[in-house]
Amino acid sequence: MKIAYLTAYLGKGFIEKYGKGKKFALSGPFKSLGIARSMMAAGHEVIIYSPGVTTCNVNIPSFSEKEEYPEGKLTVKYCNILSKRRCDPINQIRIARFIKKEHKRERFDVLVYYNITLGAALLVNRLKDCIDVLEYEDNIFNRALAGDKNDFVWFKTKLYNRIIKYSKGVMAVCNGLMLPDIPHRVLTPGIINEDVITNVTGRINKLQQDRPVTIILTGGIHYSKGGDLLVKSMCYIKTPCVVKVFGNCNLDDNLKKLIGKVPSIHKFEFNGFMEHAELIGTLDREADILINTTRSMGVGAQSAGFPFKMMEYASTGRPIVSSEIGKLDPDYNNCITYYEDESPEAIATSIEEVIADYDEKVKLALKLQKRVLNEYTIDGTGKKLDIFFKTIVNE
């Protein structure tokens, strides 16, 4: 089948032309690339259509690029992009128009769209003889803003209702987003690529009495990531720790005050963004505990999504402490230490539990690592998607 994939992917050519000197949060593009390659591994021809980003502060003319992967050549096409603040709605309209024109020439069998967006809503049921499939990563009703707020709910409700009405399939990142109103469903929580496979060792990690415990958080400290909760939790932990954060590390005044209250036995390192392969290698070399403090964002832990980093965490064989948003299935969950509610005290208790029973937690983490490196690779996901698409087409 020929698949049009609408997603805000940033290819190598885009970053080379327009991203020099800029740091992008690439978890979304990495997930999108993994999905695209998995669909290619299942034997499908895939073209990514991207509205780019709004942070380059330039007008970007439409262009295309090709990337070579073991599964074949991946074509990435960009519409005319107004890469400036608050211009995403304009780019969403442009990419929708672009794909409509492309469909007249390419004749797509399937349109896969990443999340519920304006562009997706403008396209569903608009491409003749084309099956619409939602890749659902982030619940549109998440309260990801400080104070558990979500803007423009009325408008998002309209987008949601339209897309759910016409979608024939959903590729959901967690069980809570396997929307029952959509006929066909498949779970795609995360995809492990070569950056991960070649940079994890499977070694048995040990705590050292003469050094502090190293806790690593990736993805930054934005409100939705729960960075403030992690900082507060350190006030209740008696074992000396070094907390290392990678990603968006812009500290506001509130976070600076919170850090100033943490006992001096603990240290913080804010490292900003890092190349993906280097980051995975750093997790393997340095992490004693990996932590996910992502908030449930007002929609319930199993409906808010599933952080991409959780699958990469699991690939390292390190013990993981996580909020309930990091839950997947019983076998996965049994290998991770979860805390309930958004309580710094509960986070601290979970961290101390891992430290106290570290060797057993490592055994569980290594068990999980084996599963993840087998089931959630590009080939493993490709097998699931092959069955998924064949079921939709043959109904």
Q: What is the CATH number of the domain that holds 179?
A: 3.40.50.2000
Instruction: Say how many C-beta atoms besides its own lie within 10 A of residue 112's C-beta.
Output: 27
Residue 23, pLDDT > 90, answer no
The residue-averaged pLDDT of 111-117 equals: 96
So what's the pLDDT on residue 249?
84
DSSP 298-317: TS-TTTSB--HHHHHHHHTT
Shared domain check, 213 and 151: no
One domain for residues 339 and 387: no
Q: Which domain holds residue 128?
A: 2-191+377-393
Same domain, 260 and 239: yes
Question: Confidence class of residue 235 from pLDDT cuts 50, 70 and 90?
Answer: very high
Three-class DSSP category at 320: strand
pLDDT confidence of residue 48:
98
Q: In the predicted model, what is the mean pLDDT of residues 314-335?
A: 96
Q: For residues 199 and 139, state if they share a domain.
A: no
| Mean pLDDT, range 332-345, rounded to an integer | 95
Taking alpha carbons only, the member of 166, 168, 175, 111 closest to residue 139 is 175
The overall average pLDDT reported for the chain is: 93
Q: What's residue 26's pLDDT?
A: 67
Amino acid present at 362: V
How far apart CA 20 and CA 42 sit, in angstroms, is 34
Q: Are residues 153 and 227 in the same domain?
A: no
Q: 362: how many CB neighbours lie within 10 A of its CB?
A: 20
- Residue pLDDT, tens place only, 175-218: 999 999 999 999 999 999 999 999 999 999 999 988 999 999 99
Coil, strand or helix at 296: coil
Q: Give the least confident one: 28-37, 65-74, 280-289.
A: 28-37
- With cut-offs at 50, 70 and 90, classify the pLDDT of residue 145: low
Average of per-residue pLDDT across 262-273: 94
Both 185 and 265 in one domain: the answer is: no
Residues 201 and 259 in one domain: yes
Instruction: Clarify whether residues 279 and 387 are in a common domain.
Output: no
- Say if residue 242 is in the same domain as residue 258: yes
Residue 47: Cβ within 10 Å count: 18
Clarify whether residues 359 and 315 are in a common domain: yes
Residue 58's nearest CA partner among 88, 84, 93 is 84
Lowest mean pLDDT among 19-23, 51-55, 91-95, 326-330: 19-23
Q: Both 21 and 121 in a single domain?
A: yes
DSSP string, 223-262: GGGTHHHHHHHGGG--S-EEEEEES-----HHHHHHHHTS
Question: Residue 30 has what pLDDT?
Answer: 86
User: pLDDT, tens digit, for every residue of 120-142?
Assistant: 999 999 999 999 999 999 888 88
Residues 307 and 366 in one domain: yes
**% of residues, the chain, pLDDT over 90:** 80
Total number of domains constituting the chain: 2
